[in-house]
Amino acid sequence: MQLFAPLFASLALFATTSTATNFTGEVLNGVPVISYLNLSDVPARSVSRYYLRVGELNGGLPLHIPVLVARGTPESLESGKKLALSGAIHGDELNGLEGQVANLNGTVIGIPTRNYFTSHNSSFLTNVNRVFPGVAASDGSSGPELLAHNIWNDVWGNKSQVDVGIDLHTPSTGGETSLWCYADFRLPYVERLAKLLQPDTLKIDPGEPGSIETTFVDNQIPSITVEMGMAKFWNTSLIYRVYDFVNRLVTVDDPVTKGQSIANVRNVFGDILETIYSPETGRMFQSPRDPSIEPGASVGQIAYNSTDPECADGCIL
């Protein structure tokens, strides 16, 4: 899968001379925008949300990616591990995870999607998972290289804010796989990390240069790449094996009753923005496989028996 190479006319590198979290003063969808993250600034026993500003498009349109930080107990930055959990670098890889933070002895830095454009269109030309740790703008980086550089330095702190890395993937659109992972056993703890996942297949290899997993391992940070299911599809059985996650509440051919909840609309952070209820009693006979649906698009069709004269020849909801 790919990203965007010549699409960026210019991208600005956002840096800070301070080690504190740098808030730009902007707010996007109610979420503060940052250009640098310091984990010590994140409240304990909570999940904090940010948008990281990673550059600009031609015309000055700012580019942001979502970041979640689940921090455990106040002492957990020192007593626990710091996990980098990232997904959707190739845009169509939409499997997700869910976690709990109340008794967490550690910190999870989650990046639900690192590749904004291929979340919508995966036809760009550069594989971002081959350019980490990226290149600074001052050194003449391309768009993908700068995106990788800003994630590596401004979220992961040039490895200082990460102890363990897990990178989530699916096959490319059109492919399907079981739950498996890449693992480089040459670094201690990687073998244990991979086996704790209990994958169907464990592929032991030295990794791909420029990938997140290999870049972490090269920097002595245990990391694995996890592949699961199909692209552009909630592979619920496999997601349950990693952790519980539910989005679509009914599937094709399921009977539904009037007023029954049939789907949740979520934002990139996983919040439920709206619950959709069945307008009639019937059967769900069509449902989109791709969960990334634009506003106004159909989330399904229900076949039902109607007494409305206008439906004498049949109606579909």
Q: Which domain holds residue 175?
A: 22-242
181 near 226, Cβ under 8 Å? yes
For 235, other C-beta atoms within 10 Å of its C-beta total 22
Count how many domains the chain has. 2
- For residues 199-215, one letter each, b for 16 or more C-beta atoms within 10 angstroms of the residue's C-beta and e for the rest, the string is beebeeeebeebbbbbb
Residue 9, domain member (yes or no): no
Find the helix or strand (DSSP H, E) in which 265 lies. Answer: strand 261-266
pLDDT at res. 125: 63
- 88 and 134: one domain? yes
For 38, other C-beta atoms within 10 Å of its C-beta total 17
- 260 and 181: one domain? no
- 262 and 235: one domain? no
- Among 38-52, 142-156, 254-268, 293-307, the range scoring the smallest mean pLDDT is 293-307
- 179 and 284: one domain? no
Percent of the chain with pLDDT over 70: 72
Q: What is the pLDDT of residues 147-204, one digit of tens each?
A: 899 999 999 999 899 999 988 877 565 556 667 788 999 998 999 988 888 888 898 9
- 94 and 69: one domain? yes
- 221 and 107: one domain? yes
Please give the Cα distance from 110 to 86 (Å, whole number).
6
Residue 225, domain member (yes or no): yes
- 126 and 207: one domain? yes
- 237 and 268: one domain? no
Q: Which residue has the higher pLDDT, 219 or 281?
A: 219
User: Which of 242, 268, 301 is the last residue before a domain boundary?
Assistant: 242
- 267 and 218: one domain? no
179 near 202, Cβ under 8 Å? no
Residue 316, domain member (yes or no): no
Q: Would you call 185 helix, strand, or coil by DSSP?
A: coil
Non-local CB neighbours of 4 within 8 Å, separated by 6+ positions: 117, 118, 124, 125, 126, 143, 144
- Among 131-145, 203-217, 245-259, the range scoring the smallest mean pLDDT is 245-259
Residue 4, domain member (yes or no): no
Residue 286, domain member (yes or no): yes
Residue 15, domain member (yes or no): no
- 159 and 260: one domain? no
- For residues 258-283, one letter each, b for 16 or more C-beta atoms within 10 angstroms of the residue's C-beta and e for the rest, the string is eeeebbbeeebbbeeeeeeebeeebe
Beta bridge partners of 183: 204, 224
Half-sphere exposure of 61 (CA within 13 A, CB side): 6
User: Which of 187, 213, 242 is the last residue before a domain boundary?
Assistant: 242
- 122 and 228: one domain? yes
- 219 and 142: one domain? yes
Q: Is residue 309 left, alpha or beta, with left meaning phi > 0 and alpha meaning psi from -120 to 50?
A: alpha
Q: What is the pLDDT of residues 9-24, one digit of tens each?
A: 333 444 434 479 999 9
193 near 200, Cβ under 8 Å? no
Residue 302, domain member (yes or no): yes
Residue 36 belongs to a domain with what CATH number? 3.40.630.10
User: Which of 184, 217, 242 is the last residue before a domain boundary?
Assistant: 242
Q: What is the pLDDT of residues 71-112, one digit of tens each?
A: 988 888 888 899 998 876 554 455 555 555 666 788 989 887
